[in-house]
Structure 1
Amino acid sequence: MGKKMNATVGGTCSRRSQNWDVLKIDKPMIKCDSSLVDIHSTASPAIETGIRRSGDLLSSAENGDLEQLEKTLESLQVMGVTDVKEALMDFKDAHKRTALHFAAAKGRRKVISFILDRAPECVECVDEEGATPLLYAAKENEFAAVKLLLAYFSDPNTAMTNGTTALHEAAANGSIRTVKLLVEHKAQLEATTKNGTAMHFAVSENREKTVAELLRLGAKADVRNAGGVTPLMLACLMNKPVVVKELLEGSATLSLTMEGNLTALHMAAETGFTEVVQEFLNCRPEDTKEVANLASDAGATPLQLAAGMGHHEIVTLLKPITKGFEDADLDKLMAEEKIKLDAYYEQAAKNKTSAAPAAVTEPQTVEEKLEAENKRKLAEIEKEEDIAVPEAVEATEEQKNEATKFKNDGNKAYLAKDYALAVDLYSKAIAITPADAVLYSNRCAAHLGAGDAKQALHDVRVSKKLRPDWPKALFREGQCLEALGLYEEAACAMWSAMQLAPDDKLLKRRFQECVKRGRSDHQAKLQSAA
């Protein structure tokens, strides 16, 4: 995805602007199902009539039914179509995929050989996204099909319109033998998309053995993607210690920085990924000691960022190697750095708000239009800083019991899917105990159930202000933002929740699902606008 989100190399997503693709590499969505698409042909009407009467050429290729494929082609000859090559090359589905694309994706070697013996030019036919049959085979991890297509002289460096090659797909799948085979056939190790090289793709999918093999084959460890992110930075941001270990042992440079003069160690320290920091110390102790004393543009070392974010274990690991902090009192250090970090980001937010507006230009590209739509949605939402924190009210024991009853009744109404009643009951409880974060979170869920995502977002942000470190509030904020179509912001909120509850598998799964839905939504919008 090309849009920006407020992602962070730190623990809270509202603090620093990064790219959506920093968190997860976008893999092209190749879907092979010939039964779901219309057949399109650039050939004569006679051929089209013949194909419809004689069966589905694409389905027989996809199913590996060579006998049916031959019968289909024979029937074309009966219809007066004698050029089999024309039929194999020109008959395509709505996404410009040929029979060879479908056969390659399913690993149908007999069909592949049959087609290429009669129409060798098919090997370089591309679909609407520029993908060749070889790329389909690599995507679906069909090694034998990849080998066969290469034997028919498929070019491993033919890239999709977004830059993706077969090597990117093989690396993402973790297929070492496919990676080796492609490189043997001169696949370019440094071929890149905006998301990066095959190395970035392998890192994103946690393929540490593939990372090691790519390094052995000569891939560059320090190559940057369009966002300036190296494989080591990506592995740190995504909390992949085993991949970090391979990159460090492969001589990745620790001192490289991206926006804000942040090294990979800064990122790992601020995000609280203890195992990653430990790998730095285990694999490259001297280099780590040097980088541990580098300051970001904000004047913070990795230790100071970790302290400001409350990551005790990382502070303990970095204290002995950070000059001036070796003997610092841990509690005092963390309290002081939190104040500094909060002040820095508060000032940065003010600077951003007070900056002179740039000249307004009408969005031209599809991406610009989608970005403008996203900004419009954000502008319609109440600003978080404008939400007041309710003051606590002293309640008698009797009043507290009454509030609890309203809450319990609200829970029952919510479970019964009577969301309007649930909202009313939670509101009555809030009127008695207006500073109860749980009540606002519950009412948020009820508003969501009723389809009022904006009001739900307001409530959960009140809950957040009352309990800033509550993962559930951050998760529900993500749900609200997703309901409003703000997938990137939603993923950011869920990412923050994960930092507070790193062992919560449900949170991790929901975050991944949100990212997936966001990509699907973005892809659908791109296709509809095209």
Structure 2
Amino acid sequence: MSPDDQEKPCRRSETLSEIPVDRESGREAIVTLLQAAFCKGPREVSAGLHRAVSDTRGGELLQAEAGNPAEIGSLLPAFKDGLGRTALHYACLGKRPVNAEWILKACPTIVDYKDSTGETALMMACRAGDVVMVNLLLNFGADVNKRSQTGVTALHLAAESGDEACVRALVDAGAVNCFAEASGSPLQYAVMSNHYGVTEVLLQKGADPDYPFNVQGSHLSVFPPPLLFACNARQDSIAELLLNNNADPNLQDEHNWTALQCAAENGAYRAVVALLKAGADPDVVTQGLTAFDLAMQHQNWAIADILKDKTALLIGKDQIFTALHEARRKRYEMEAFATEEHREADDEIVDTEAHQQQVDDAMKAKADGDAFNESGDYALAIDKYTQALEQMPVDKTTKEARAMLYASRSMMYISLGDLESAETDAHKATELDPLWSKGYAVKARVYKAKNQTEEYTKHLYEACTRQKTRDDELISELKKAITVSRRNQTKQQQAPPTVVEING
């Protein structure tokens, strides 16, 4: 869902380093004509045309077919390069409106001729952001609805170029919601190219911010809805603009992600505020993740601080909480299964009776450790937990018990100030039982003792997402931790640059 994952439309660049001409007859004359259209004047274009007609095999026949030698301009479309581009295309490439006007007057029908990719002269002028040429072509009747082979129109290219004047001219000529599955809409092009002004013009002129995603049964674009892309790319201003023009805050892409999830993941704070104000649902679950989950996982604390008071995980909407817990449980189980496949196999149980005796002995040692913990004798408690771990069989049936022992010993190490050993044991606990909420709660205690606020907050969140029943005390602790992490992040962002940063 990151911006790098969304490919922007790729357009070929135009140069005149070489003019490819397929035909052998009159090659030099055709090149001369196209070069004149590109970089010279009407007189040279006219001379080039006459030379092309006289030097090209069959030129006399072409001239005869015209019926009137005075209408030699009607032969202009016959002279193209190897890519099907006419003199008018070259006049647009060279930004020569005087040449283009001469060509159009000599042959008005050339205005909508397409090259081998289906592009017209109007499309080339729009790509270049040449509003003078665009207006000239429109005055000669250029069709704004013509499409290239990929479905692109002149408005798509104008929107991509960022030229507001070109966009206005095209929209006034009747183009606005043109769409193709392979190329999307002009509004999508404007947003993907981060052109606020063009986006605003299109919306003012009636572009639908949700089209075609709001049309039932329509074929979706290969690109995401404009609002989702803006949030994914942290284009907060464009996201606000789209929402102010009635973009649906709960619209989903083909993978069922929402704009709020995209904004939370990528740190688009203002977009999150605007989305919530517009009615975005914070409890949409996609692949087991809500917007709050994504903000937490990417350490976007300011956004998490907003969402913490709106998500079902933390505010107690029972039915939604249950559904959310079930979705997360499935995701965690899949992750744990994937990890398990790459881990070495545990010992097989050979003697069931002996196995049970070992477990009983280990649990007795654990009970002794718990008693020492209650009395505050943490060193002896560590000894007993260590004994229990040594006695406990290492197989799949004892993973939860071993996780509990490592977590218990970790807490004792915290009490004695041995934070490295505490961290090691806490990590083993969560590795053995990745679905156990308390394992992550213990890990959070380790990072709190180490003054690692962000890690403390992250692991409190992991503990809360795994709880089978609501633990209001743990949730309250998480909310406070998120607020502290947000403050710390803000202080870091406002801190003056270091000497190393100043000097690069």
Q: TM-score range by the shorter chain?
A: 0.5 to 0.7
Is 1:287 the equivalent of 2:279?
Answer: yes
**Whole-Å separation in 2 of the counterparts to 1:206 and 1:199:** 11
**Whole-Å separation in 1 of the counterparts to 2:32 and 2:337:** 60
Match of 1:99 in 2: 87
Report if aligned partners of 2:91, 2:100 keep a CA contact under 8 Å in 1. Answer: yes
String of CA shifts for 1:223-276, please: whole Å, max 9, x gaps. 234247211011112221111111111111011123443211011212333343
Is 1:71 the equivalent of 2:47?
Answer: yes
Match of 1:207 in 2: 195
Instruction: Look up the equivalent residue of 1:94 and give its one-letter code.
Output: G
Instruction: Look up the equivalent residue of 1:24 and give its one-letter code.
Output: E
Instruction: Look up the equivalent residue of 1:241 and give its one-letter code.
Output: D
Report if aligned partners of 2:19, 2:81 keep a CA contact under 8 Å in 1. Answer: yes
Is 1:23 the equivalent of 2:18?
Answer: no
- Please report the RMSD computed on the Cα atoms of aligned residues, expressed in angstroms: 3.3
TM-superposed CA distance for 1:279, in Å, is: 4.0
Report if aligned partners of 2:123, 2:153 keep a CA contact under 8 Å in 1. Answer: yes
1:443-522, aligned counterparts within 5 Å? none
Alignment TM-score, normalising by the size of structure 1: 0.54
**Whole-Å separation in 1 of the counterparts to 2:232 and 2:77:** 44
**Whole-Å separation in 2 of the counterparts to 1:55 and 1:317:** 64
Instruction: Look up the equivalent residue of 1:109 and give its one-letter code.
Output: P
Match of 2:425 in 1: none
1:101-180, aligned counterparts within 5 Å? 101-180=89-168
Larger radius of gyration: 2
Report if aligned partners of 2:288, 2:331 keep a CA contact under 8 Å in 1. Answer: no
Match of 1:247 in 2: 242
1:251-270, aligned counterparts within 5 Å? 251-270=246-265
TM-superposed CA distance for 1:156, in Å, is: 0.6
Alignment TM-score, normalising by the size of structure 2: 0.56
- SS of aligned partner of 1:182: helix
Instruction: Look up the equivalent residue of 1:145 and give its one-letter code.
Output: M
CA 233–141 in structure 1, closer or farther in 2 if over 3 Å, else same: same
Report if aligned partners of 1:212, 1:250 keep a CA contact under 8 Å in 2. Answer: no
1:40-51, aligned counterparts within 5 Å? 40-41=22-23, 48-49=25-26
Structure of higher RCO (CA pairs closer than 8 Å, 6+ residues apart)? 1
Structure 1 moving runs of 4+ over 4 Å: 76-81, 339-342, 347-351
- Between the aligned residues of both structures, percent identity stands at 26
- SS of aligned partner of 1:96: coil
**Whole-Å separation in 2 of the counterparts to 1:348 and 1:260:** 23
- SS of aligned partner of 2:279: helix
TM-superposed CA distance for 1:73, in Å, is: 2.4
Instruction: Look up the equivalent residue of 1:306 and give its one-letter code.
Output: A
Instruction: Look up the equivalent residue of 2:33 and give its one-letter code.
Output: L
**Whole-Å separation in 1 of the counterparts to 2:337 and 2:204:** 43
Match of 2:20 in 1: 38
- SS of aligned partner of 2:114: coil
Report if aligned partners of 1:137, 1:143 keep a CA contact under 8 Å in 2. Answer: yes
TM-superposed CA distance for 1:97, in Å, is: 0.7
TM-superposed CA distance for 1:195, in Å, is: 3.7
**Whole-Å separation in 2 of the counterparts to 1:309 and 1:221:** 28
Q: Which moved more, 1:149-158 or 1:172-181?
A: 172-181
**Whole-Å separation in 1 of the counterparts to 2:204 and 2:292:** 33
**Whole-Å separation in 2 of the counterparts to 1:54 and 1:305:** 60
- SS of aligned partner of 1:56: helix
String of CA shifts for 1:349-398, please: whole Å, max 9, x gaps. 799x9xxxxxxxxxxxxxxxxxxxxxxxxxxxxxxx79xxxxxxxxxxxx
Match of 1:184 in 2: 172
CA 254–113 in structure 1, closer or farther in 2 if over 3 Å, else same: same
Report if aligned partners of 1:32, 1:102 keep a CA contact under 8 Å in 2. Answer: no
String of CA shifts for 1:433-469, please: whole Å, max 9, x gaps. xxxxxxxxxxxxxxxxxxxxxxxxxxxxxxxxxxxx9
CA 220–68 in structure 1, closer or farther in 2 if over 3 Å, else same: same
Is 1:307 the equivalent of 2:296?
Answer: yes
TM-superposed CA distance for 1:53, in Å, is: 5.0
Instruction: Look up the equivalent residue of 2:46 and give its one-letter code.
Output: E
String of CA shifts for 1:283-329, please: whole Å, max 9, x gaps. xx2514xx11x2224343211222233332221121122244259xx
Q: Which moved more, 1:263-272 or 1:23-32?
A: 23-32
CA 165–233 in structure 1, closer or farther in 2 if over 3 Å, else same: same
Report if aligned partners of 2:114, 2:121 keep a CA contact under 8 Å in 1. Answer: yes
**Whole-Å separation in 1 of the counterparts to 2:174 and 2:90:** 25
Is 1:319 the equivalent of 2:301?
Answer: no
Instruction: Look up the equivalent residue of 1:129 and give its one-letter code.
Output: T
**Whole-Å separation in 2 of the counterparts to 1:214 and 1:76:** 43
Instruction: Look up the equivalent residue of 1:313 and give its one-letter code.
Output: A
Where does the alignment leave 5 or more consecutive residues of structure 2 unmatched? 67-71, 214-219, 317-324, 344-454, 456-492, 494-504
- SS of aligned partner of 2:296: helix
**Whole-Å separation in 2 of the counterparts to 1:135 and 1:348:** 53
CA 316–134 in structure 1, closer or farther in 2 if over 3 Å, else same: same
CA 175–76 in structure 1, closer or farther in 2 if over 3 Å, else same: closer
Instruction: Look up the equivalent residue of 1:191 and give its one-letter code.
Output: F
